[in-house]
Amino acid sequence: MDNRIEKKMLLKIKNRVILYLTGISVVLILIFGACSRRIREEPELRIGIIAPVTGKMDNLGASVLDGAQLAVEEQNADGGIQIQNTRYSVVTIIKDSEDKPELALAAAQELINQEGVSVIIGPPMSGLAIPVAQVASRAFVPMITQSATHPDVTRGTRCVYRACFTDDLQGKIMARFARAELGARRAAVLYDIASPYNSRIAEIFMQSFKENGGELVLPETYTTREDSFIDQLIRIRKFDPDVLFLPNYYYDIILQIEQIQELAISTQIIGSDTMSFRDPEDIPYIEGAYFSTHFSSEIPSQKVKQFVTAYQSAFGRIPSAAGALTYDAFGLLYHAIKAQNSIDPKLICKGLSEIEGYEGITGMISFHGSPDPEKSTVIIHVQDGRFHFHTQFTP
């Protein structure tokens, strides 16, 4: 065959192959493009979660994620959120704060500006929730913190709510409990003066204990990341208080209890909601202690019983207060959205502000126009390495 003819035939074949492959590519682009558009256009309620997934507070973060997962899976199994004629699937975007304010702030900016979330759940600790609340407020993105109890979290903000009680309430409750039920006449306090949560609740407890006729023998302080409390505890031991109040985070409490035992200090340990340890192996550290918290799996309620059963089935353990509060934060959000029939931020805020008598896992919740709910406080007694429901105070 003539070389010129052969080259011409090969060129024709080559062009046909290119055209054929190009056609396939166009078809594939159209197919996958259409699928991609369908995926992108599927209506979603995008919820941002800021929690300490790693770091010293990872136990708290794990409980938050458990509560969120259960709340999302249950809602999506029920068809998602129905708004008028549209169903929205619930999607969470999780950001790790590592218990660091700068990471929490960066997470909030990313959730708002890049992920386009409709609402933020968390952060669960006051030290991080206070600055994040300012960011959410300026952007007018609704925020519900499950367990940040410091009053400054919601003060001066727009559409920042909480599912928990405040430090002021639990500080007063524990002072009243120590005086009325434990018969304590003299109290000592050891707390982290650099932490907004610790210092605020300590101040309220001390003030309320004195107002209830008690004597505050010694307030002792330390600063974040200290790991020796021997000097403070030796001074406390000299006064022989009836109760020692430890409104601190769990990693500090464990060290403090170890050092209390080393010094053979014999006093009744009492605490706040940070004693709601998630890991069973940590609970014996606070054997005999009483503390205020938001939830007990032993609360005599059918709704609580159903929640505990579902939680155990999903995760193989009893829910902690953080898990229950996160579940309630989602419940409050769903309630507000359904009441307003909208995921518009302004209407979500309106829906939250109008909630009264919402039956949550952690108790009845009413806002009465305030971002801080009226709700009950649970007192736990640690016995035989377990958390036991002792009593419940209702405002």
Distance, CA of 56 to CA of 283 (rounded, Å):
17
Contact between 342 and 349 (Cβ < 8 Å): no
Contact between 179 and 171 (Cβ < 8 Å): no
* Spacing of C-alpha 304 from chain mean position: 18
The predicted pLDDT at position 376 comes to: 86
Distance, CA of 70 to CA of 128 (rounded, Å):
24
Please, what are the domains in the chain? 44-165+299-376 (3.40.50.2300), 168-293 (3.40.50.2300)
Q: pTM (2 decimals)?
A: 0.80
pLDDT tens, position by position, for the chain (395 residues)? 444 444 444 444 444 444 333 343 333 333 334 444 444 567 999 999 999 999 989 999 999 999 999 999 999 999 999 998 899 999 999 999 998 999 999 999 999 999 999 999 999 999 999 999 999 999 999 999 999 999 999 999 999 999 999 989 999 999 999 999 999 999 999 999 999 899 999 999 999 999 999 999 989 999 998 999 999 999 999 999 999 999 999 999 999 999 999 999 999 999 999 998 878 899 999 999 999 999 999 998 899 999 999 999 999 999 999 999 999 999 999 999 999 999 999 999 999 999 999 999 998 899 988 999 988 899 999 999 999 999 988 76
Task: Retrieve residue 41's tokens.
Answer: 């256009």
Contact between 173 and 204 (Cβ < 8 Å): no
Residue given tokens 């429901």 in the structure block: 389
| 3-class DSSP state of 227 | coil
Give bridge partners of residue 258 from the DSSP assignment: none
At residue 13, what is the residue type? I
